[in-house]
């Protein structure tokens, strides 16, 4: 069965619930999108890796990556292999000493590791046929599914038609433009220490803008 490559194109708060997030995967050689509802900790883990942040202590998926590297295990690819009863299933395709092994994984965990290993993400045509959406006129769509806000809802496919989903994952409540560069750097360090990575990304972007103006 031919595999289709995907890439992470967005990570946002899901309209499915206040404690839910959605990671949106895009077809590399196509226009379809595959939104998957995930939990808050997994969304944070993906966001940290995407933003290339360095927490003071390793997060769970950082620990898993370190263990893989320590024992010379290579994560070759992630495959979203099945969709059953609205829940996505994934496989970690790993190799060590010339031997290839497939390990079952929650899709959200698999994606968090894929970002850390910079490995390709694949799925199959039947999954995109069932749960994918076609992007038209550059509009990004999302699920208005009614889901409970608990861990059992992770890795689920939208249950109903899709509406606009992709929006910034978080918005800082502070007026950052009024703060000095040293204050912003101190705020960034405090946010990282407290693992508030979404707000930290906003502060980091403001610092980058300031440095670009100075150069």
Tell whether 22 and 53 lie within a shared domain. yes
Tell whether 154 and 197 lie within a shared domain. no
**SS3 call for 195:** coil
Q: For the segment 182-207, what is each residue's pLDDT rounded down to a tens digit?
A: 888 888 777 766 756 557 767 777 88
Tell whether 102 and 182 lie within a shared domain. no
| CATH of residue 87 | 3.10.690.10
Tell whether 86 and 147 lie within a shared domain. yes
Whether 11 is covered by a domain: the verdict is: yes
What is the per-residue DSSP string for 11-54? EEE-TT-TTEEEEEEEETTSSEEEEEEEEHHHHHHHHHHHTT--
Whether 171 is covered by a domain: the verdict is: no
* pLDDT surpassing 90 at residue 94: yes
What range defines the domain where residue 184 resides?
A: 176-214
Whether 169 is covered by a domain: the verdict is: no
Stretch 95-120: mean pLDDT? 96
Tell whether 149 and 180 lie within a shared domain. no
Tell whether 57 and 138 lie within a shared domain. yes
Tell whether 31 and 134 lie within a shared domain. yes
Q: How confident is the model at residue 44 (pLDDT cuts 50, 70, 90)?
A: confident
Whether 168 is covered by a domain: the verdict is: no
Provide the domain count of the chain.
Answer: 2
Residues of the chain with pLDDT > 70: what percent? 75
Q: For the segment 148-195, what is each residue's pLDDT rounded down to a tens digit?
A: 444 556 777 654 333 332 233 333 344 788 888 888 888 877 776 675
The pLDDT of residue 196: 66
Tell whether 147 and 193 lie within a shared domain. no
């Amino acid at each position: 069965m031919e595999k289709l490559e995907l890439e992470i194109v967005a990570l946002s708060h899901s309209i499915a619930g206040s404690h839910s997030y959605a990671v949106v995967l895009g077809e590399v050689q196509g226009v379809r999108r595959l939104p998957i509802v995930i939990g808050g900790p997994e969304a944070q883990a993906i966001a940290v890796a995407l933003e290339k942040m360095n927490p003071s202590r390793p997060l769970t998926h950082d620990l898993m990556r370190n263990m893989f590297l320590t024992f010379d295990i290579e994560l070759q690819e992630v495959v979203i292999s099945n969709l059953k009863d609205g829940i996505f299933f994934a496989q970690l395709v790993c190799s060590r000493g010339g031997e290839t092994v497939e390990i079952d994984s929650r899709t959200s965990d698999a994606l968090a590791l894929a970002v850390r290993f910079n490995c390709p993400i694949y799925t199959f045509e039947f999954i995109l046929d069932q749960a994918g959406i076609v992007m038209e006129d550059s509009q990004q769509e999302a699920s208005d599914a009614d889901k409970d806000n608990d861990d059992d809802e992770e890795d689920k496919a939208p249950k109903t038609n899709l509406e606009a989903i992709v929006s910034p994952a978080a918005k800082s409540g502070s007026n950052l433009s009024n703060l000095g560069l040293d204050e912003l750097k101190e705020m960034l360090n405090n946010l990282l220490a407290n693992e508030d990575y979404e707000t930290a990304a906003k502060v980091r972007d403001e610092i980058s803008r300031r440095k670009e103006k100075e150069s």
